[in-house]
Amino acid sequence: MAAYGRPTLRDLFDDSPTPHIAHPPRTHHRGFYVATDGSFRATGGGLGVVIETRDGERVARIALPDRAPDNNVAEYRALHLGLDVLAARAPRDARIGVLVDHDVLAANANRALLATDDGWRPDEPLSVPEDSRHHWRGIQARLHGFADCRVARIRSAENPAHPLANAPQQYSHVNDEANRCVLPTAVDTDELIPPPSRADRPASD
C-alpha cells in the first residue's frame, strides 16, 4: 500500500491537471500509475520511479544515480525508465496514469498521445531537448504501447519519486525490493462517478 499519510498515486492523478488532453470521468479508470522524477546536480543527480496499482498497492520503486547534462534531460530519462519498468510489470491492455512534475514533458506526452493513425498531428512541433531525442522516441513507443494513457502534472513537493531522484544513494535500498507483478482489483461500477475535485473541471490547456 501507499506509505501511511501519503496519498496514493491514483489520488494525486485524479486531483491534477492533464495538459492538452481532456480528462472526462471514464479516464479515471487507470489500472496502474507511475510517478517519475529526474534530478540534476553538478556533482551528479538521479532518477526516481514509483509504480502503484489503482488500489495503492506498490509495484516498484527505483532510485538510481544519474549524470544528465541538465534537469530537462533528467526528467525525460526518468520517464523513459519508469515506462520501461511498467511495461515489464503490467499487461499490454492496461490503462495507465502517469505523473510528472515537469510542465513541458507532461504537455509533450499528452500531445503525442493525441496523434492519431489517420494523420492528425499537433499544430506545432514538439520541443524536446536535443540530448533527450532517443529517450523521447522510447517514451512515445511506450505510451502508445498501452491500451490507454494520460499524463498528469503534479508539484515536485507532491511527487513521491522526487526524494528518490534527489537522494538516490540514501534510497538505494528500494532497488533491492522483490520484483512484483501486481494486478489491480476489478473496477467497481460505482467508480464511474468522478471524484468531486474533477467532476466539474474542464480540460486543462
- The pLDDT tens digits for 124-159 are 678 899 999 999 999 999 999 999 999 999 999 999
pLDDT digits (tens, 9 = 90+) for 7-20: 999 999 988 888 87
Paired residues of 34 in beta bridges: 51, 98
Domain ranges of the chain: 9-185
List all residues 6 or more positions away from 5 whose beta carbon is below 8 Å from its beta carbon. none
What is the torsion angle, in degrees rounded to the nearest 10, for the CA atoms of residue 125, residue 128, residue 131 and residue 134?
-70
Average pLDDT for 102-119:
82
Give the CATH number of domain 9-185; options: 3.40.50.1360, 3.40.50.10440, 3.30.420.10, 3.40.50.360. Answer: 3.30.420.10
pLDDT digits (tens, 9 = 90+) for 24-66: 555 567 899 999 999 998 888 999 999 999 999 999 999 999 9
